[in-house]
Amino acid sequence: MNELMKLDLTQLPSTQLGSDETYKDLAKGGGNFLGYIKLCNNDDYVKTEKIRNGHFGIPTSKEEIVDLNKAIDVIPLARRPKAMDTHDKSAIIISYDETTQVFKDIQERSNINNSRASWGTSFLVLERSTGRFLEFFFGTKSSRPEAANLFPALPLTQADIDRRAKAGGDVDGLEPHGPMPMTLTSKLVTNKKGSWFTTVVTKCSAPFTKLPSTAAVVEEITKFLTIKSDGAEPIQDTRKERAR
């Protein structure tokens, strides 16, 4: 037996410098990355039994994913357009500018079966169970319309209202408000082409207890909405936390 195991080491002084939260931050991967939530649909994570089909998860590598179950609660904080082409996994192309040709080309290719091209609305959300800032992308044909049900839950500032009024939008009855919690659930869809899971947005009544500071929220929103001027961002597909 290891001689150390014979000692009573239960009464030691503190064994760390700093808070537990400090070490959680230090243990994160390098780089400025934002994790993302994936709705699993007969993918490799399901095939290797890392997660059940129709469950939401947070990929941490090509082999591992954190299972969040078939329903998650989120607070939507910001949104941006997004088009993504993953056909060449050595250089995935992401565009956040719907006015560019890159974005439009991805939109067009998305109509081709198995093109691995997708587009829609990307949200920055705070997920309740983990307390993490994450991205959720409504990028499929069946999920894109559902994104509109998350729009009203986004924070609404007076500047937002003034901008809508200037653009000729209807602002009657609108008042500034903070973000509102919502629940995302998975729904099985079946047609002649097959069956798959898509996302449904509903109201949330569960309390959020892991809330970040206002400064942290502002910082994450700023990062999320800061995009490259050309609207295109080639990245490496490691299936780890994706680059902003």
Q: Could you tell me where the DSSP H helices lie in the chain?
A: 20-26, 44-47, 101-109, 158-166, 214-224
Backbone angles phi, psi at 159, to 5 degrees: -65, -40
Retrieve residue 132's tokens.
Answer: 């993490």
Q: 160 exposed, middle or buried (CB, 10 Å; 0-12, 13-18, 19+)? A: middle
Q: What is the pLDDT of residues 63-113, one digit of tens each?
A: 999 999 999 999 999 999 999 998 887 788 999 999 999 999 999 999 998
Q: What is the pLDDT of residues 116-168, one digit of tens each?
A: 899 999 999 999 999 999 999 999 999 999 999 999 999 999 999 999 999 99
The pLDDT of residue 3 is: 56
Spans of all domains in the chain: 32-164+178-243
State pTM to two decimals.
0.81
Q: How far apart are CA 144 and CA 16, in angstroms?
A: 47
